[in-house]
A and B are shown apart, each in its own frame.
Chain A
Amino acid sequence: MYKIIRRYSKLTALGVLAVLSLVTVTALSLHGTEKAMAQQAAGGVQSLRGETDIPDDNIAPVLPRQDTQAGSFERAYRQQPPLIPHKIDGYQIDRAANQCMLCHDWPYNVDQGAPKISETHYVNRDGVALDEVSPRRWFCTQCHVPQSNARELVKNDFKSAVDLE
């Protein structure tokens, strides 16, 4: 018996290897079809929903919440556009209307007790002073943004100008 095995050892080894690889390949391909079938069910589209089927509901992910605070956030450097310390969800800012103006444009700001928009915002690019916020300053959220309690995307050790002094 021992002798036979020894004589055909190379053959046995090859045989064992062949069987093993066959099993692996089958298992892998089976797994593959399962995945493909799951994708097929989702219309073949891999979306942000992940592998959740279309009729099934996903669990809503926990989203970062907006930081609001009475008063205002501190500035980190002199030229920094002030940060927005309140919710601005759903405020319309488009060609037709800008909801921020209802509280921050003069004279509405007097009534609402909100900070007035800086005079620099009423000057167009030719240096002409206007009675309305200049078109180049119209889209407030290009510079002024609210804050949220989200984790920083990249680890950093930013220090404000005040802290550096």
Chain B
Amino acid sequence: MSDKNGKSGPGVRGRVVQLWKFISRPSTAALGTLLAVGFVAGIVFWGGFNWSMEMTNSQTFCITCHEMEQNVFREYRETIHFSNRTGVRATCPDCHVPKTWIHKVARKIRATGELFHHFAGTIETRDKFEAKRVQLATNVWREMKETDSRECRNCHNFDFMDYTLQESRASRRHQQGIEEGRTCIDCHKGIAHTLPDAAFEAWNTMEAALRTEAGG
């Protein structure tokens, strides 16, 4: 069949067939080249991809933007997740960027929106930031509600807590929380940053909205 076509002239069809032959029954040399090129390209792309994922997953990167540095970062420096008894620090990505690959990529893609808002100057001044803060906080809360505070649970776990060592109110509330199916952010808001005006109202509205969504 292919021979017939080849004789009838070096048309487009013939070229396609030749290429197909090359690919389907390649010589050793061709195979070698293909593999080598593929291998190198793979390393370059995968490495570059991973490198950029790693690079953008550090606190130093987050605070290159003054919006992050001058507001949330400065507040966070006063909190237990920055400096504590045990010397374990939780950095921005620890709480805000998922660890699992697929969720991480999804978050990074969404984060390109931050880039847009950075250049648009949405929260470039303290006043603008304060004005938009409730909304940003609500976004984070909503996400944590939906993931059952996944990022907190990368470090903390109800199962690993020694309730006899906790303050009595913490121990009691945690055990009740497990029974009631509550998540960390339900009770621990504003642990790393200052809460904005009307934060509790915004939380209640967000929770009500989530309930109606779940309800039907």
Closest to A87 in B: B167
Q: Are B79 and A92 in contact (CB under 8 A)?
A: no
Size class of the contact patch on chain A: 10 to 19
Q: Identify A92's interface contact among B169, B173, B176, B190, CB under 8 A.
A: B190
Q: Pull 5 A–B residue pairs with CB atoms less than 8 Å apart, ordered by A.
A: A68-B167, A97-B199, A99-B195, A112-B187, A113-B176
- Contact A92 B195, CB 8 Å, known A86-B167, A112-B173: yes
- Contact A97 B80, CB 8 Å, known A86-B167, A92-B190: no
Interchain nearest-CB distance for A77 vs B (Å): 26
12 more contacts with CB within 8 A, not counting A102-B189, A114-B169, are: A70-B168, A86-B167, A86-B169, A90-B79, A90-B80, A92-B195, A96-B195, A96-B197, A97-B196, A102-B187, A112-B173, A113-B173
Q: Could you say which residues of chain B place their CB within 8 Å of the CB of A102?
A: 187, 189, 200
Q: Tell yes or no: A123 within 8 A of B by CB.
A: no
Q: Could you say which residues of chain A place their CB within 8 Å of the CB of B78?
A: 90
Interface residues of A (CB under 8 A from B): 68, 70, 86-87, 89-90, 92, 94-97, 99, 101-102, 112-114
Closest to A94 in B: B194
Bits for B159-203, please: 1 = Cβ < 8 Å to A, else 0.
000000001110011001000000000010110001111011000
Interchain nearest-CB distance for A105 vs B (Å): 8
State the CA gap A114–B173 with chains docked (Å): 10
Q: Could you say which residues of chain A place their CB within 8 Å of the CB of B172?
A: 113
How many B residues touch A, CB cutoff 8 Å? Answer: 18
Q: Could you say which residues of chain A place their CB within 8 Å of the CB of B169?
A: 86, 114
Interface residues of B (CB under 8 A from A): 78-80, 167-169, 172-173, 176, 187, 189-190, 194-197, 199-200
State the CA gap A72–B62 with chains docked (Å): 43
Q: Could you say which residues of chain B place their CB within 8 Å of the CB of A101?
A: 200
Q: Are B194 and A92 in contact (CB under 8 A)?
A: yes
Q: Could you say which residues of chain A place their CB within 8 Å of the CB of B195?
A: 92, 96-97, 99
Interchain nearest-CB distance for A15 vs B (Å): 64
State the CA gap A96–B200 with chains docked (Å): 11
Q: Are B190 and A99 in contact (CB under 8 A)?
A: yes
Q: Could you say which residues of chain B place their CB within 8 Å of the CB of A70?
A: 168
Q: Could you say which residues of chain B place their CB within 8 Å of the CB of A90?
A: 78-80
The 5 closest A-B pairs by CB, nearest first: A97-B195, A70-B168, A96-B197, A97-B199, A96-B196
State the CA gap A102–B204 with chains docked (Å): 12
Closest to B203 in A: A102
- Contact A96 B199, CB 8 Å, known A90-B78, A90-B80, A112-B173: yes
State the CA gap A54–B195 with chains docked (Å): 35
Q: Could you say which residues of chain A place their CB within 8 Å of the CB of B196?
A: 96-97
State the CA gap A107–B85 with chains docked (Å): 34
Q: Could you say which residues of chain A place their CB within 8 Å of the CB of B167?
A: 68, 86-87
Q: Could you say which residues of chain B place their CB within 8 Å of the CB of A68?
A: 167
Closest to A101 in B: B200
